[in-house]
Structure 1
Amino acid sequence: MTETTSAKTSSRDKILIAAAAMLGEDPTARLSVRAVAARAGVSTGSLRHHFPTQHALQDAVLAGIYETVFPGDPIHDTALPARDRLVACMRQLLAPAETGEEARKTWATMYETYFACEPTEEARQAYLGIERQMRHRVEHWLSVLVDEGVLPRGDNAPRARFLLTVVNGLTLERALPSTEALLASETATLFTAADSVLRG
């Protein structure tokens, strides 16, 4: 980044960039006020001005990451059937997940952070922030389908939880040995999950 570009970057953007970089380096990183402010080169007061709570900072960072990684949700492409759109959206959640050795490394880190011993409060909050953003994203997709009349009105929270459970299972499956063609198997599972939700 040049000095000119850096000078034009607002303190809020510097904070978001620094926090996103920290999460990119370590998905379980604690986005503490001091650590993020130091990384961004801003004061802790400036960070608190833009993000009064750690949750507000984490939610803003994750929302920015999702906007960057998943621009233009396919849920709005009404040229496609609702079933295909919902599967395309779920596939977006799977897209960043690694396969094989890289997937095993990711799951090993997850195990050490969340399962091997009681997670720290910071690790717990980091995970809950990610989970909250994912759930909101899936609930948004479902609300679009409800508004279109494709999905019956009802509580989208359990529907979103079900779809996220399927995606989490597929992510874990990518780390395990398999004799099946991964793409074909995942696609069949995603369509089964979408059909289950759309049929109510």
Structure 2
Amino acid sequence: MDDGDDPVLSTRHRILVAAATMLGEDAAARLSVRAVAARAGVSTGSLRYHFPTQQELREAVLAGIYGLVASDDPIHDRSRSPRDRLVACLRQVLAPAGAGQQARAAFGKVYESFIAPEPTEEIRQAHLGMEREGRRRTEYWLSVLVDEGVLPAGDNARRAKFLLTVLNGLALERALPAGDSLLADETNTLHLAVDSVLDPRNA
């Protein structure tokens, strides 16, 4: 059935497209009900019907965005070593931040959205929603390696938290003044982090 044949599906789809577009323009966007509804051309009541909370809306949008790239996910490329596949996946997370001026602008938006303001419940939930989706995606990559027998079964939530903490540090480094060795240093850090996770002693 085409979206146009089902007004409920069509409205939900328009809301998700509008919110995804807003996140594409600004990854730190808080997706306020009023702004998303206006962008989608629907009423705030209609948006609330489909997504009772901003957290549900953000998580649905992020899940959809990540779902679009899942089929082309480097974790499934078995022509590469598990180490290289996981590093490639982590680089995907860093890629939107860019480097230099682009990275500074991206970090500035995160700072303005989540660090500078008083931490209201709305801000907290928006950040936690992004964090949850990042963990879900990273845990998925790790579960693929576990299923292949490459990574020992263990606490993937703990492993994912460690890897995401490393990525947060690398994203910040990209925004700071750096020397010519930034890419080499980043690559070394990613390899150390992935090697630590893949080490059976850390299962």
User: TM-score normalised to the size of structure 1?
Assistant: 0.86
Distance in 1 between residues matched to 2:25 and 2:81, nearest whole Å: 38
What is the CA distance between 1:71 and its match in structure 2?
Answer: 5.2
Cα deviation digits, residues 42-79 of structure 1 (max 9, x gap): 23444344334332211111122223466511111122
Code of the residue aligned with 1:183 in structure 2: it is: L
What is the CA distance between 1:151 and its match in structure 2?
Answer: 0.9
Taking only the aligned residue pairs, the percentage that are identical comes to 66
Distance in 2 between residues matched to 1:20 and 1:149, nearest whole Å: 35
Instruction: Describe how 1:124-163 pairs up with structure 2 within 5 A.
Output: 124-163=124-163
- Where does residue 106 of structure 2 map in the other structure? 106
Cα deviation digits, residues 11-30 of structure 1 (max 9, x gap): 22111111112223343333
Code of the residue aligned with 2:141 in structure 1: it is: W
- Where does residue 178 of structure 1 map in the other structure? 178
Code of the residue aligned with 2:176 in structure 1: it is: L
Mind listing any 5+ residue stretches in structure 1 that lack a counterpart? 1-5
1:120 matched to 2:116: no
Distance in 2 between residues matched to 1:70 and 1:186, nearest whole Å: 24
Q: Is the 8 A contact 2:100 2:174 kept in 1?
A: yes
- Where does residue 67 of structure 1 map in the other structure? 67
Distance in 1 between residues matched to 2:91 and 2:71, nearest whole Å: 13
Structure 1 stretches of at least 4 aligned residues deviating more than 4 Å after TM superposition: 6-9, 68-71
Judged with a 3 Å threshold, the aligned counterparts in structure 2 of structure 1 residues 46 and 19 are, in CA distance, closer, same or farther, namely same
- The count of corresponding residues between Structure 1 and Structure 2 is 196
Cα deviation digits, residues 99-137 of structure 1 (max 9, x gap): 112222222332233333422322222211111111100
RMSD (Å) for aligned C-alpha atoms = 2.4
Q: Is the 8 A contact 1:11 1:42 kept in 2?
A: yes
Q: Is the 8 A contact 1:101 1:175 kept in 2?
A: yes
Mind listing any 5+ residue stretches in structure 2 that lack a counterpart? none
Q: Is the 8 A contact 1:100 1:174 kept in 2?
A: yes
Distance in 1 between residues matched to 2:32 and 2:100, nearest whole Å: 32
Judged with a 3 Å threshold, the aligned counterparts in structure 2 of structure 1 residues 114 and 37 are, in CA distance, closer, same or farther, namely closer
